[in-house]
Structure 1
């Protein structure tokens, strides 16, 4: 606290501000300081308020040892200065007897006699004050349940009594009733009792999160699996990282362990690492640690005891090490509670939880399903292939010869050979075969280095790929293999030309640039290449984000390749075909980069050279490669039908002559082109077949991640969003397994947005929370704009999930970060606009105005007419709605600013995607004035809006807007201005107009209003 309050008004403002803070050390320390400040004032009431705030901070900050001390002081003040407690403060005091009872039985060092003595004190105080004793009997039952003794009688004494004003909230009592039945082994009865709370009909600070955590396993045991999944997502978000709900977190970890979601459990454990250090309640800690141990025990049982785990601060933990530590601490807590209570209830409860077998083998809890293998620090597990590759020779010479033979064909199984050879050759005791057919060691090292360069290109690490290819060429020279050296140098030339895309164009877009016709530096020479379905816009070297520079680099690379090809001696036909393929690929990339008509003919000419040569020498892989490049050139030049025709012919050839491994990408490319031709059904069929065939081949050949992404797009065109969501998450998962994190996070971002659009709010939030918790995201290593997009979607999802406080906090932080984006003021304007609206929705109009000013300043640099207009109109509406006449002046000022933006947009000839900015502004003037009681002005504004919108038409999409405006005008005129007759005339005319045009749905609210007005006449 910067400065202590100097008077009681300042103290009360500070208390209100502290009350808005989340529970934790900051709130607790501030509450302690405010108590010290309150003591300086002569009057006792401010101190009472400060002590109440401090007790609440201790209670919900999981510090039960301190809460009773504060309450004792309040009780003394009540006895000595009863006038300081009005009816509300007196109610609060007697309510908090229950808080103290709960705090005391959470402390094993508190003797059982002390607990019972406190309950006696509570009973006597309630009786003396003439208060009903149901709350006392409720606390007596909770103590009995805690001890595991005498619960039946205690339950009857409590449950049979009527509720009073001091009874726990209904949601909390329902939870206790349900837990009683659950302890008795009656899952069905417990769930029936819980139903209102689980359905959201009762809530408080702890509910429904507490009930949800207990209900998860009963739901599974009774077969309500989907309900359990849904409530896990909702309930976990309500308790995560909260010290006072650590037991609930522990039960969510247990749920993960018993549903095949051990990896998800470890992720949640890491997110709640703070609880190891911040929970001061032994009882809460006991519940938390037992849930942690259930999870760790399961992970260790599955053979992953050496996985890293988040645990106590100060050291690094493995699953096995943390489990041993947790077990010792939880056993000690159970023994201490049992010793205090004179029962074995806590030891038995631990044994029951730890002895439970998994209830399900697998349950997809989130859109990002991962196994323990996926979170292992070892090499990521690749997706299994359905096709069984040929067995690899055990003989080293045979293995080398097979690798080269397969590589010459462009066969994907060559990769497995190189993978097996690499550790053998790099071993310290390696002995190279003395075999002329194998050749010298330097040749083999060149082969392996070439494969490494290809892998670097696949990851778009073009600078590394270029350097490795140059080194490879030198080794081939040493080995006397000029043809291979020429090919490696051609690959280096293309990789070097790609570098500007990585540093300029890719950086500008925030995501890696897609290549038009594939990247030979990243794929084996005979792997088919592909193209996008849309030709890029015309670009130039100036102001084109690096496209002009890249086109020039590709031109130079092609010229160098031609010279290299002409000068290369004694090329084998397959080597010469590879060089021709590199030349054609380079010009195809240039065409994609520039989109220039002058680059079309050279691209086709190079493809024709390749096709003629490959046909003459019968090199099947390069024949199909040439066909793919030609299809790509047609697509890039804007002739999609010709591209599809080319691929139709190629697919016929591949099915007859092969190679079979070219089929998945060829079908995928045709599917993508058909999407461009608006034939989503045919595209879906192609992509489905491509995915089926892709399972037979390595990912680098089939590009299955891309196929899933394209199939998601096809599904969206076919209005099958759930299927699209599955393909998006599968695409992201595959990219993540292969280390393509940016691509993976882009796909996950799309999946999150789609899940939000589908109304699957909790799925969206859970997915984004998982992504944002990734170490490289937390460390700032992922692209900051991509992370910002994830956070923006999360804020929108939180808002959709009615968690306004969390949504606002997320957006406020994001707006502060985006304010520093000097290169992207438009994005800051958008983010600040949304932030200002949420602040206004929270009633924080001062802050909303400040953030709106920031949005306007950014808008001046990069106009966002519609977003800013929407923002200002919405703030105006909220202020008038919440403050009435007192907020009218500020609301009208916001509308005036929205009017200036509409003028700017009109001058710039900007057309809004949604409603006209002018008609929307007039309508908002109507609503704002109506909220403020200025009904004549409201009606005039609405009539102006009706003129601006224009009369509805049968085919127009503005009928809904016009109908709503007419309805509100009728309501203002008929209800508030009490001019029933003209209001009915207005409404009847509008109803007739809408009905005649076939807009019955839009007319329904007007019909209802007209009926109401006639009834009131």
Structure 2
């Protein structure tokens, strides 16, 4: 709090503002400051309000030691000046006797006699005030359950009584009744009692999150794993990082440990590391630590005790060391509670939790399932495994490597890897064999292999340097042809150091990139992009010229080297076509490919024959000639099936599948791509771009109406990219998966996935592309909105809108985000803030128009304000519609056509609806008649007919109900029904028929 309130009005305003903050230290500190400020006014009522806010902050901020102290002050004020407590304040006072009882139970240093004394105080106070004692008996039962004695009697005394105005809410009492049956071992009965809370029919500050955390294991034990999974995602989100929900977090960690989700448990533990420092309730801390220990014990038992773990502040922890610390602290807390209570209840409950065996070997909780091996330090990549055993002697191994290398056989990589191990080890003796050649040649071979692997991973600068070094060694060995090829490879690698904007060789122009404005902002289009593409095309043209020079200047080349040089030339031409997108470059690529094909055919180089045909098919696909590309790919696949080489077949099938997908042949594409993935497993060293193929399979599945399968392919693509170290591509695939899950209505899945991604270290540290991160956050905000978490969604949108205001290269994305933010603020009734946000959207829209999106947002804001505020909001709503009118005018002038409803007719309809909400019925009717005219005759299109019918219906409501011209309204409706029936739009006519019956009934 920067400035203390100077008046009681300012104090009340500050209390209201603080009440909107989440529970935690910020809210608590401010409440303390406001309580101090309230004392200075010397008035009891403001002080009472401030103390109530302070006690609430302590209670829900997990500071039970302080809550009773504040309540004692309130009770003294009530005893001294009972008349200043109006009915609401009096209700609040007596309600909070229960808060104090809860606080005292959670502190083991409070003697049991003091707890019972407080219960007596509560009963006496309630009786003196003439209040029903059901709340007292509820607290008496909770004390019995806490101590572990006389539970059945206490339960009957409470549960058999009728609820009163001071009883805990329905959701909380439901939870207590269910826990009673759960303690008795009756899972089924407990779940039946819990049903209305778990279904979301009853809720409060802590519910259903509290009930969900307790119900997870009973659900598993009764075979309802899918329901447990769903509730875990929703319940955890309602509890995370909240000190007052520490016990709930502990139970979610336990759930992860008992369902094969130990890696997710460690992730959630890290996300809630603040609880180790912020939970001041010993009882809640015991509950949390026991759940943490269940998780850590499971991880350690699986052999991962050395994994890092998030724990108490002040030092770094491993799973094993944190488990030991947690065990000691939790054992001490349990012993202190049992000593206070004179029972063994807490120690017994703790041991029961720790002794539980896993309930399921594996339960896929999120779209990002990970194992402990996934979070362990990555081992060194395994050497490629050849199909046949490698020769033992170095001489035979060298000869075999070179033979396979000339063929382009993928097993050559395993030979080179073994030779690298041998030469790197001490004591290597090079064979004295003229066929093998000198050691300098082997070193050149190994450098060239290393360069090839770097090039394939797009480490082009590194590859170019290695190729140049290899060329020098080949020259030293007297192998001029090999030196020329190595130097040519360096030229092409160097030309790709600044990669072209387009990536991949997708025939349909689609890739695994996130969709949406923020993603577009990460790869801005326009003049800059065109200039970069042109510059890259020029670099590649120069590289091609240099390749030709090197090729023509070489003599006596072996056929396989000549073919390889031609392949480099084709690649340079193809990359230039890809960079420029200019179809004039298609013919030169095909001409070079034809040269390669002729040389390969003449010398029987089957691998290069396949490569030439693959390059031809790819070129036709990039040029947009998909039928020719498909014919070429079909022929290549047939050739490879009969004559080989087999290791080219996965890549050919992958290309064929992409082309088929581009032609709309989704079933065939799915078959080709699936076979490609299956065969690629047989040739791992020469495999396809597996993440890209999974992305294409996802597209095929969406076309085939199999979204769940599409989702699996997207998540698989992301996992493979992540394992390969391609984090940007991985996050793009995850982004697409998150959006698809949101489209499928799997809201909690979407949010859980994004929550997991957004806490990754490179995201938190700002190392990942900022626009991609913004896309992830935008999807999460939309998912929160779809999940009706309006407060969280609005906060995220407001934050994104502030950040995107600085995207000078992408004002259109800012316009979209600011407009969506304005709509959410409107839903929350914050129309002044909504006005500010939409003004920023309009300013950005002026630089980079988003006609339809902005028009939709403005119309929705107008509807929201008129609907919420009625006549009082009419002026503001009309201002939004005026802005929408200017957007529609600009769109018309620009020749823009909306993808959805035409902007003019939609605007006229909204004028009608807004004026109707605001009580301006004549204006409403005029606007709706204008909308009907703009839509025109309904015609045969069902969508247009439905829009027309809705305008007619609303016009008839305004005319017949509000303006009381029922005859005219009935005539309007009757004519419309006849017209729609004649056109075969019976469904669109149904609401009109129902309205006609209503109007007749009211006559």
Q: How would you bin the TM-score normalised by the shorter chain?
A: over 0.9
2:671 is the counterpart of 1:685? yes
Deviation, 1:165, is: 0.7
1:899-928 deviation per Cα after TM superposition (whole angstroms, max 9, x unaligned): 111111111111111111111111111111
Q: Measured at CA, do residues 895 and 231 of structure 1 come closer, stay the same or move farther in structure 2, by a change above 3 Å?
A: same
Contact 1:814 1:831 in 2 (8 A): yes
Task: Describe the SS at the equivalent of 2:360.
Answer: coil
Contact 2:507 2:658 in 1 (8 A): no
Match of 1:939 among 900, 918, 925: 925
Deviation, 1:255, is: 0.8
Deviation, 1:434, is: 4.9
Deviation, 1:380, is: 7.8
Q: Measured at CA, do residues 396 and 249 of structure 1 come closer, stay the same or move farther in structure 2, by a change above 3 Å?
A: farther
Match of 2:784 among 791, 798, 803: 798
Deviation, 1:569, is: 4.2
Alpha-carbon separation, structure 2, partners of 1:32 and 1:798? 32
Alpha-carbon separation, structure 2, partners of 1:595 and 1:156? 79
Match of 2:457 among 459, 464, 467: 459
Query: Superposition pairs for residues 387-466 of structure 1, below 5 Å?
Result: 389-427=387-425, 432-466=430-464
Which residue matches 1:242? 242
Contact 2:413 2:685 in 1 (8 A): no
Contact 1:541 1:549 in 2 (8 A): no
2:758 is the counterpart of 1:758? no
Which residue matches 2:877? 891
2:770 is the counterpart of 1:772? no
Alpha-carbon separation, structure 2, partners of 1:540 and 1:44? 66
Task: Describe the SS at the equivalent of 1:173.
Answer: helix
Task: Describe the SS at the equivalent of 2:943.
Answer: coil
For these two proteins, the number of residue pairs brought into alignment is 990
Alpha-carbon separation, structure 2, partners of 1:345 and 1:425? 66
Deviation, 1:355, is: 1.0
Deviation, 1:956, is: 4.8
Task: Describe the SS at the equivalent of 1:702.
Answer: coil
Q: Measured at CA, do residues 398 and 90 of structure 1 come closer, stay the same or move farther in structure 2, by a change above 3 Å?
A: farther
Which residue matches 1:227? 227
Alpha-carbon separation, structure 2, partners of 1:144 and 1:278? 28
Alpha-carbon separation, structure 2, partners of 1:610 and 1:693? 26
Alpha-carbon separation, structure 1, partners of 2:150 and 2:397? 76
Deviation, 1:422, is: 3.8
Match of 1:478 among 476, 491, 506: 476
Match of 1:959 among 945, 960, 967: 945
Deviation, 1:806, is: 0.6
1:25-59 deviation per Cα after TM superposition (whole angstroms, max 9, x unaligned): 11111111111111121321111111111111111
Which residue matches 1:510? none
Which residue matches 1:201? 201
User: Which residues of structure 2 form unaligned runs of 5+?
Assistant: 512-524
Query: Superposition pairs for residues 605-1004 of structure 1, below 5 Å?
Result: 605-698=591-684, 701-1004=687-990
The range that moved more, 950-959 or 232-241, is 950-959
Which residue matches 2:146? 146
Q: Measured at CA, do residues 902 and 80 of structure 1 come closer, stay the same or move farther in structure 2, by a change above 3 Å?
A: same
Alpha-carbon separation, structure 2, partners of 1:346 and 1:393? 66
Contact 2:508 2:661 in 1 (8 A): no
Which residue matches 2:378? 378
Alpha-carbon separation, structure 2, partners of 1:209 and 1:783? 34
Deviation, 1:457, is: 2.5
2:340 is the counterpart of 1:340? yes
Which residue matches 2:565? 579
Alpha-carbon separation, structure 1, partners of 2:653 and 2:372? 34
Deviation, 1:317, is: 1.5
2:503 is the counterpart of 1:514? yes
Q: Measured at CA, do residues 374 and 475 of structure 1 come closer, stay the same or move farther in structure 2, by a change above 3 Å?
A: farther
1:651-679 deviation per Cα after TM superposition (whole angstroms, max 9, x unaligned): 11111121111111111111111111111
Q: Measured at CA, do residues 466 and 186 of structure 1 come closer, stay the same or move farther in structure 2, by a change above 3 Å?
A: same
The range that moved more, 141-150 or 793-802, is 141-150
Deviation, 1:438, is: 4.2
Deviation, 1:582, is: 0.7
Which residue matches 2:516? none
Q: Measured at CA, do residues 908 and 350 of structure 1 come closer, stay the same or move farther in structure 2, by a change above 3 Å?
A: same
Deviation, 1:154, is: 0.8
Contact 1:540 1:548 in 2 (8 A): no
Q: Measured at CA, do residues 569 and 82 of structure 1 come closer, stay the same or move farther in structure 2, by a change above 3 Å?
A: same
Match of 1:1010 among 988, 996, 1002: 996
Deviation, 1:694, is: 2.1
Contact 1:373 1:380 in 2 (8 A): no
Alpha-carbon separation, structure 1, partners of 2:528 and 2:43? 73
Superposition TM-score, scaled by structure 1 size:
0.95
Deviation, 1:785, is: 0.9
Which residue matches 1:60? 60
Task: Describe the SS at the equivalent of 1:89.
Answer: helix
2:173 is the counterpart of 1:187? no
Contact 2:286 2:334 in 1 (8 A): yes
Contact 1:533 1:635 in 2 (8 A): no
Which residue matches 2:521? none
Q: Measured at CA, do residues 560 and 515 of structure 1 come closer, stay the same or move farther in structure 2, by a change above 3 Å?
A: farther
Q: Measured at CA, do residues 133 and 911 of structure 1 come closer, stay the same or move farther in structure 2, by a change above 3 Å?
A: same
Task: Describe the SS at the equivalent of 2:196.
Answer: helix
Q: Measured at CA, do residues 250 and 676 of structure 1 come closer, stay the same or move farther in structure 2, by a change above 3 Å?
A: same
Alpha-carbon separation, structure 1, partners of 2:312 and 2:596? 63
Query: Superposition pairs for residues 532-543 of structure 1, below 5 Å?
Result: none
1:128-178 deviation per Cα after TM superposition (whole angstroms, max 9, x unaligned): 111111111111111111112211111111111111111111111111111
Q: Measured at CA, do residues 543 and 795 of structure 1 come closer, stay the same or move farther in structure 2, by a change above 3 Å?
A: closer
Task: Describe the SS at the equivalent of 1:843.
Answer: coil
Q: Measured at CA, do residues 545 and 922 of structure 1 come closer, stay the same or move farther in structure 2, by a change above 3 Å?
A: same
Alpha-carbon separation, structure 1, partners of 2:324 and 2:431? 51
Deviation, 1:423, is: 4.4
Contact 2:647 2:686 in 1 (8 A): no
Q: Measured at CA, do residues 689 and 480 of structure 1 come closer, stay the same or move farther in structure 2, by a change above 3 Å?
A: same
Which residue matches 2:515? none
Q: Measured at CA, do residues 616 and 23 of structure 1 come closer, stay the same or move farther in structure 2, by a change above 3 Å?
A: same
Which residue matches 1:133? 133
Which residue matches 1:489? 487
Alpha-carbon separation, structure 1, partners of 2:803 and 2:510? 34
Q: Measured at CA, do residues 931 and 655 of structure 1 come closer, stay the same or move farther in structure 2, by a change above 3 Å?
A: same
Q: Measured at CA, do residues 170 and 830 of structure 1 come closer, stay the same or move farther in structure 2, by a change above 3 Å?
A: same
Which residue matches 1:549? 535
Deviation, 1:398, is: 4.1
User: Which residues of structure 1 form unaligned runs of 5+?
Assistant: 506-512, 517-529
Q: Measured at CA, do residues 817 and 1015 of structure 1 come closer, stay the same or move farther in structure 2, by a change above 3 Å?
A: same
Deviation, 1:424, is: 4.3
Which residue matches 1:252? 252
Contact 1:212 1:231 in 2 (8 A): yes
Contact 2:467 2:490 in 1 (8 A): yes
Q: Measured at CA, do residues 428 and 972 of structure 1 come closer, stay the same or move farther in structure 2, by a change above 3 Å?
A: farther
Deviation, 1:95, is: 0.7
Task: Describe the SS at the equivalent of 1:260.
Answer: coil
Q: Measured at CA, do residues 160 and 743 of structure 1 come closer, stay the same or move farther in structure 2, by a change above 3 Å?
A: same
Q: Measured at CA, do residues 151 and 873 of structure 1 come closer, stay the same or move farther in structure 2, by a change above 3 Å?
A: same
**Please, what is the CA RMSD of the aligned residues?**
2.0
Contact 1:296 1:323 in 2 (8 A): yes
Alpha-carbon separation, structure 2, partners of 1:248 and 1:286? 11
